[in-house]
Chains A and B, each alone.
Chain A
Amino acid sequence: MKINKKLWFLIIPIFCIALITGSFFYTRGIIKANEAAKANGVIADVFPDAVRYSEATYNKRFLALYLEEQGYETTDVVVDHVVYARNEQNAVKGLIVYVNCYKKFGGLIQMAVGIQNNGTINGYTILDISDAKGLESKVKDDDFKNQFIGKNVSAFVLSDEPHNDAEIEAPNGARDASGTVVNGINTAIITLEFIDESMGGLLE
Chain B
Amino acid sequence: MKEKKDNIFRRLYYGLWKENPILVLCLGLCPTLAVSTTAAYALTMGAFTTAVLILTNVFVSALKKIIPKEQRLLGYLLLAASFTVAGQLFLKAYFPDFSEALGIFIPLTAVNGVIYDRAERCAYVSNPGLALFDGIGTGIGYTFIITLLGAIREIIAFGTIFGIRLIPADYTISFTALAPGACIILAFIMALANKIRGGHRS
Residues of A bordering B, CB below 8 Å: 3, 5, 7-8, 11-13, 15-16, 19-20, 22-24, 26-27, 30-31, 34, 38, 128, 132-135, 137, 172-174
Q: Which residues of B contact A134 (CB under 8 A)?
A: 37-38, 41, 153-154, 157-158, 177
How would residues 174 to 188 of chain B score, 1 for a CB under 8 Å from any chain A CB and 0 otherwise?
Answer: 110111000000000
**Out of A13, A22, A31, A133, which one reaches B41, CB within 8 Å?**
A133
Given contacts A23-B89, A172-B169, 13 further A-B contacts (CB under 8 A): A8-B75, A12-B66, A16-B78, A16-B81, A26-B89, A30-B94, A31-B92, A132-B37, A133-B37, A135-B157, A135-B174, A173-B157, A173-B177
Report A39 CB to chain B, min CB distance, Å: 12
Q: Which of B45-72 contact A (CB under 8 A)?
A: 63, 65-68, 71
B34 touches A (CB below 8 Å): yes
Give Cα A56–Cα B81 distance, bound, in whole angstroms.
42
How would residues 100 to 120 of chain B score, 1 for a CB under 8 Å from any chain A CB and 0 otherwise?
Answer: 111100000000000000000
Give Cα A85–Cα B63 distance, bound, in whole angstroms.
57
Report A16 CB to chain B, min CB distance, Å: 4
Q: Is the CB of A27 within 8 A of B37?
A: no
Q: Is the CB of B41 within 8 A of A27?
A: no
Report A23 CB to chain B, min CB distance, Å: 4
A128 nearest CB neighbor, chain B only: B100
Which among A8, A11, A22 has the greatest number of chain B C-beta atoms within 10 A? A8
Q: Which residues of A contact B41 (CB under 8 A)?
A: 133-134
Q: Is the CB of A19 within 8 A of B82?
A: yes
Q: Which residues of B contact A24 (CB under 8 A)?
A: 89
Q: Is the CB of A8 within 8 A of B89?
A: no
B96 nearest CB neighbor, chain A only: A34
Q: Which residues of A contact B34 (CB under 8 A)?
A: 133
Report A17 CB to chain B, min CB distance, Å: 8
What are the 5 tightest A-B residue pairs by CB atom distance, in nearest-first order?
A173-B174, A134-B37, A16-B82, A23-B86, A27-B93
Give Cα A23–Cα B52 distance, bound, in whole angstroms.
14
Q: Which residues of A contact B38 (CB under 8 A)?
A: 133-134
Give Cα A39–Cα B76 distance, bound, in whole angstroms.
38
Report A29 CB to chain B, min CB distance, Å: 9
Q: Is the CB of A23 within 8 A of B90?
A: yes
